[in-house]
Chain A
Amino acid sequence: MAAMAPPALKRILFVEDDPDIQSIATMALESLGGFAVLACGSGDEALSRFAGFSPDLVLLDVMMPGMDGPTTLETLRRRPDGAGVPVVFMTARVQAHEIARYREMGAADVIAKPFDPMTLADTVQSIWRSLHP
């Protein structure tokens, strides 16, 4: 019996308040990774547009004005439609104890900032595969 193929990663909700980082990452994920990306500039915007986009994966900046990344994740997890979606934090704070804390919060993984736009899509794809061995 053939092994079942993992689900394909198609739709990414990207939450980032820095407009330049938002632009370059969206471009990289769309043009190099072939993903459909919905970019949001705040946690509030991401939560309000989440249901309409129905992402396979969420990339979430940690430090944002207003609702920060951890609070956005916590709020998402309390919703029936957001309880199971993998969330990957993007942050410059990637010491071992900080990564452990993000995982305790429910993050599936962490991408370190600064990231290389040329390899971001591959990194995201690798994380997705690791979540679906």
Chain B
Amino acid sequence: MEPDELRQYFAGRLPHRLAEIEDACRAARDAGWTGEPLRTFHRLVHSLTGAGATFGFPEVSEIARGLEHLLAGLLKRDTPPGEPQIGEIEDFLAGLRPVG
């Protein structure tokens, strides 16, 4: 078990994980950014934050952490995001796509 092998393994898993997150984002948006769909979106992004760092992808972890904090704020306030925050969510996802 070498660090390069870990990175290679996770690189192969990233497209699937990012697709899952994009799906969860769409579901959260369709649900009005509330309830279980938003919690699922947040949980998947939270997992990516940890997994990225564990497998040697700090850049993935950093972007995911920013999105995670934004989503945690939405969950805490229980209010839908405004246009600027929706733009931020899209920016975070756009930042993740090239690494996936």
Interface residues of A, Cβ cutoff 8 Å to B: 17-18, 20-21, 24, 27-28, 31-32, 63, 65, 92, 113-118
Contact = CB atoms under 8 A, between A and B. Distances in A.
Interface stretch (B25-33, B49-57, B76-84, B92-100): B49-57
Contacts of B17: 20
A114 B13 CA distance: 17
Given A114-B61, A117-B6, A21 B50 contact: yes
B-side interface mostly:
helix
Interface string B34-48: 000000100100110
A79 B61 CA distance: 38
Contact of A28 (B1, B13, B49): B1
B50 A32 contact: no
B6 A18 contact: no
Contact of B54 (A17, A32, A113): A113
A92 B51 CA distance: 11
Contact of A20 (B1, B13, B46): B13
B6 A113 contact: no
B73 to A, nearest CB: 15
Contacts of B9: 20, 24
A65 B51 contact: no
Given A18-B47, A114-B51, A117-B1, 4 more contacts: A24-B9, A65-B40, A92-B46, A117-B54
Interface string B9-33: 1100100010000000000000000
